[in-house]
Homo-oligomer: A and B are copies of this chain.
Amino acid sequence: MHMTLMANMTWYEFNERKDKDVVILPVGSVEQHGPHLPLFTDTIISEGFANLLGDKVNGIVMPSINYGYKSQPASGGGPLFPGTIDLNGTTLINLVKDIIEELIRDGVRKIALVNSHFENQAFLLEAIDLVSKNMPANTKIIMMSWWDLITQNTIDKIFDEIEFPGWALEHAAITETSLILKFKPELVHMDKLIDEKIEEVPTYQVYPIPKDLVPKSGLLSIGRTSSAAKGELIVDEALSKMVEIVNKEFM
């Protein structure tokens, strides 16, 4: 059996590879994704990419960070949806910091975070920054979010009918729906998908968060025209970029 998952390895198996192979940490969230996608959408996507990447670069994929930072209305629907489980910023920072520091203490020097939850970004980088202030000289840590790797060309193909609303608003919409159709089709309820979207994208933030800021369904953009084929398009491009990045930075 070719080994990718750290979860399944014995410590002997991990020990043999830890000094030379890149270790990949998927980071997700538990967050509402409309009436048709599972709460674990982000983690499924992070794990999906991490596993494929691990296969390609002979990497070791760690167990995911299953819970992420607070959902924001204009990128995830916000905290008011039941089932959205939000960590405080400091908690996520410390969680990621502890895990990376343990890897480094174990001798790992090549670390790649794969993120798929928009709101995680600032806090993951804060954790990495704090670690990096005291890490051994030959250590390198990278963070990749799949949407940053998609070219305009691919965007044009995916948004063939619906206009691209920008990445922040692509929540539970065409790209994420297509990715779950690719990674875990059995969890997508296309029959529940409706044509709702955020009517007026807020240009500022208000607290307490107004209840009518986003549609009742939690959908921020139109998800119609999603397909496994589009998911594959995204996976193909993002994955090949990830492989390129890992090769460039770690090989």
Contact = CB atoms under 8 A, between A and B. Distances in A.
A120 to B, nearest CB: 10
A70 interface: yes
Nearest to A70: B129
B10 A35 contact: yes
A171 B62 CA distance: 22
Given A34-B10, A91-B94, A123 B122 contact: yes
A155 B236 CA distance: 34
A87 B81 contact: no
B14 A82 contact: yes
B9 A38 contact: yes
Copies per complex of this chain: 6
B88 A130 contact: yes
Interface in A1-49: 6-12, 14-15, 18, 30, 32-40, 43-44
A189 interface: yes
A153 interface: no
| Shortest 7 CB-CB contacts between residues of A and residues of B | A7-B40, A122-B122, A11-B32, A11-B83, A14-B83, A63-B66, A132-B207
